[in-house]
Structure 1
Amino acid sequence: MGQILVGTCSWTDRALVGSGWYPPGRRDAEGRLRHYAERFGVVEVDASYYALPGERNSRLWAERTPDGFVFDVKAFSLLTGHPTREAVMPDGLRAEHRDPAVLDQVWARFATGIEPLREAGRLGSVLFQFPPWFRPGEPAEIFLRECAERTEGWPLAVEFRHPSWWERGRSEATGALLARHGMAAVAVDMTQRLASSVPPVTPVTSPRLSVVRFHGRSTAWGTGSKEDRFRHVYGEDELAEWLPRVRRLAQRTEQVHVLFNNCCGDAAVSAAETMTRLLDDAPPVDDVPSEDDAPPTAARLPRARSAPGVPPTPGPRPTPARSSSSSSSRRAAD
């Protein structure tokens, strides 16, 4: 049985900080992280999507957390083809994902920024959350291949926001594509009432890692404010639906990261605490995935070893790809 780590998609969210969850004396930057890490084993770094991470912060995060604690770092917006503000670009670079020279510099800055986490064994994964317009096809496959080349040796997780990636008739090819690049597929919990809803499938595409992200079940997904999109309080029955799926993932991977993104007040940490308790109390499940758990190709991946107390050690720091390779990335993001 692999290790299951439960946490949230931020420990610094303004709504969480203002909710009173952090006790007096633990409300400065260091105190908040130490308080969080005493209760959970994983957290997502959401700020790295909005601005490139810095070495100093990564080093402090590693120093303030215990052995075995890991950070899932969200890829910078420019690296997944999202709109990016010029104000957050380094050294006056243009926020232009079609420029190979810009991409090379941004990739290098991103790698440098998270290096202290990698060196300390705290890098749980780098999360590539692709936008809804990132659809199956040759440009997307080229983009994913180049992401893998630039991050060789890193633990990678991929979340698709367009539902066609996991629709019947396509899911097997998607699973095979991610498995070929050693990328862990991200399973999602969200409302299933919208045409844009991503189905709650749980494919295994890497023997090292599986990730499940709980976005809440608001029908304002994709249309409302951030608070509207993610406002949801999970009930125990909703979380219990996922217990056998999460346990099956843990039987086939070294680690499973279960992360809550319903970031309104303390809703995410409350859900994470409840999920931790439910998992501790859950009975074992059969060591056979259900038909909906994984594409057939992914199901044939080798069985993972039992998880150690710390995440699998990433390989060497990647060297930014040449500019000529970046031209394909530009096409994929169009």
Structure 2
Amino acid sequence: MGDILVGTCSWTDRALVGSGWYPAGQRDAEGRLRYYAGRFPVVEVDSSYYALPGERNSRLWAERTPGGFVFDVKAFSLLTGHPTRERSLPDGLPADAGDPVVLDEVWARFAAGIGPLREAGRLGGVLFQFPPWFRPGARAEAFLEECAVRTAGWPLAVEFRHPAWWRSEPDGRGGPDGRAEATASLLARLGFAAVGVDMVRTLPSSIPPVTPVTSPRLSVVRFHGRSAAWGTGSKEDRFRYDYSRAELEEWVPRLRTLAGRVGQLHVLFNNCCADSAVRAAETMERLLVGRALPSPRSAPSSTRSPDRFP
């Protein structure tokens, strides 16, 4: 069975910092990361979606965490077709995803920013989370092809927000539409890991909780919470959710099966309201591994040695 790494989608979220989960004396930037890394073996960097990551920060993150700890870095918004604020771009570049000069520069800056994590063997994966309007079709496939060329050698995971990518219902003519199978085949051909999600399942925009294996080395499952405000509320409304033990238990057999098919499985909680994500991650760790997480004072740097990706 591959390594199962459980963590959260941020360690700097304002709601988490204000929840009291970090102890007194460890609430500065360095203290928070050291404390978090003593509790979990993986974390997602979400700040890189809003601003290009910097080499200095990446180097500090690697230095402040124990051996084996890995970072999943979320791709910058412009690289996945999301609206991007011009003030988040360097050197006065326009937020124009259609300008090849801008794109080349942004790709280069992003690659340089995560360079120290790759060099230190701390890059768990790069998450490409595509917007809800990124639907299946020739243009989307061409976009993914370009991403594959630009990210050659990276451990890359793809999360789709348009449900059609994973649709497997009958097509109305008596046969399966084959879309889910085609999506899995496309990601496998490009070398991308498919991201499974847990979210509210009753909305037209809901992504089904499928977990196809499309890369032998990595699989990712992100738990967004099951708030009914997913498509309408504020960010806090969309992700405000406390998982029950029973809801997490229903995932355990699937996650164990998934881990048996890949080199490494990342299970990440994105229900960012107060300390809901870290509490859910702690519970899931106990359910999957059958033991409590180590205290930050007793966790040696050699307790985990996940696969090192290039």
TM class, shorter-chain normalised? over 0.9
1:173-192 equivalence runs, <5 A: 173-192=182-201
Query: Is 1:161 the counterpart of 2:170 in the alignment?
Result: no
Deviation at 1:57, TM superposition (A): 0.3
Cα distance in 2 for residues equivalent to 1:311 and 1:19: 33
What secondary structure does 1:195 align onto? coil
Q: Please give the alpha-carbon distance, in whole angstroms, between the structure 1 residues aligned to 2:109 and 2:52.
A: 7
Task: Report the residue type matching 1:13 in the other structure.
Answer: D
1:310 aligns to 2:306 (yes or no): yes
Alignment of 1:98-109 (within 5 A): 98-109=98-109
The residue identity in structure 1 corresponding to 2:263 is: E
Correspondence for 1:212 among 218, 221, 246: 221
| Residue 148 of structure 1: how far off its partner (Å) | 0.8
Does structure 2 conserve the Cα–Cα contact (< 8 Å) formed by 1:70 and 1:311?
no
Say yes or no: does 1:32 pair with 2:41.
no
**Is the CA contact 2:72–2:127 (under 8 Å) kept in the aligned structure 1?**
yes
**SS of 1:215 mapped into structure 2:** strand
List, as ranges, runs of 4+ consecutive aligned residues in structure 1 with deviation greater than 3 Å.
none
Within 1, Cα distance between the matches of 2:285 and 2:153? 30
Kept in 1: contact 2:122–2:308 (CA 8 A): no
The one-letter amino acid of 2:90's match is: P
Q: Which amino acid aligns with 2:160?
A: F
Work out whether residues 67 and 310 of structure 1, in 8 Å CA contact, stay in contact via their aligned partners in 2.
Answer: no
Q: Take 1:222 and 1:103, find their aligned partners in 2: how far apart are those partners?
A: 29
Matched, 1:202 2:211: yes
Q: Distance in 2 between matches of 1:123 and 1:251?
A: 21
1:136 equivalent in structure 2: 136
Shift of 1:312: 3.2
Deviation per residue, 1:165-209 (Å, 9 max, x gap):
001121110000000011000000000110000000110000000
Residue number in structure 2 paired with 1:43: 43
Equivalent residue, structure 1, for 2:111: 111
Q: Is the 8 A contact 1:187 1:213 kept in 2?
A: yes
Indicate the residue corresponding to 1:268 in structure 2. 277
Deviations 1:51-76 (A, max 9, x none): 00000000000000111100000000
What is the letter of the counterpart of residue 129 of structure 1? Q
1:277 aligns with 2:273: no
CA contact (8 A) 2:3 2:306 kept: no
**How far has the Cα of 1:309 moved from its partner?**
1.8
2:96 corresponds in structure 1 to 96
Q: Compute the displacement of 1:154 (Å).
A: 0.3
Q: How far, CA to CA, are the matches of 2:111 and 2:156 in structure 1?
A: 13
Is 1:63 the counterpart of 2:63? The answer is yes
Quote how far apart the aligned CAs of 1:311 are.
2.9
Q: Which residue of structure 1 aligns with residue 263 of structure 2? A: 254
Cα distance between partner residues in 1 of 2:231 and 2:44? 21
TM-score (norm 2): 0.92
The one-letter amino acid of 1:258's match is V
Q: Secondary structure at the match of 2:84?
A: coil
Q: Could you report, residue by residue, the CA deviation over 1:272-331 in whole angstroms, capped at 9, with x for unpaired residues?
A: 00000011239xxxxxxxxxxxxxxxxxxxxxxxxx9233331xxxxxxxxxxxxxxxxx
**CA distance in 1: counterparts of 2:127 and 2:38, whole angstroms:** 23
Distance in 2 (CA, whole Å) between partners of 1:197 and 1:310 is: 32
Counterpart position of 2:294: none
Deviations 1:131-161 (A, max 9, x none): 0000001111110111010011000000000
Structure 1 partner of 2:298: none
Is the contact between residue 159 and residue 186 of structure 1 (CA under 8 Å) also seen in structure 2? yes
Q: How far apart in 2 are the matches of 1:280 and 1:199?
A: 26
Aligned to 1:126: 126
Q: What does residue 2 of structure 2 align with?
A: 2
Alignment deviations for residues 26-58 of structure 1 (CA, whole Å, 9 cap, x no partner): 111000000000010100000000000000000
Question: How well do the aligned residues superpose, as a CA RMSD in angstroms?
Answer: 1.0
The runs of 5 or more residues in structure 2 that have no matched partner are 169-177, 292-303
Other structure's SS at 1:186 match: strand
Q: Aligned AA for 2:141?
A: E
Alpha-carbon distance between aligned partners in 2 of 1:23 and 1:309, rounded to the nearest angstrom? 27
Give me the whole-angstrom Cα distance separating, in 2, the residues matched to 1:224 and 1:234. Answer: 19
CA distance in 1, matches of 2:201, 2:165: 15
Which runs of 5 or more structure 1 residues have no equivalent in the other structure?
283-307, 315-334
Once residues 200 and 185 of structure 1 are traced to their aligned partners in structure 2, the CA distance between those partners, rounded to angstroms, is 12
- Structure-2 separation of matches of 1:44 and 1:70: 9
Task: Name the CA distance, whole Å, in 1 between partners of 2:58 and 2:306.
Answer: 17
- The superposition leaves residues 208-263 of structure 1 with CA deviations (integer Å, 9 ceiling, x where unpaired) of 00000000000100210011000000000000011011101110000000000000
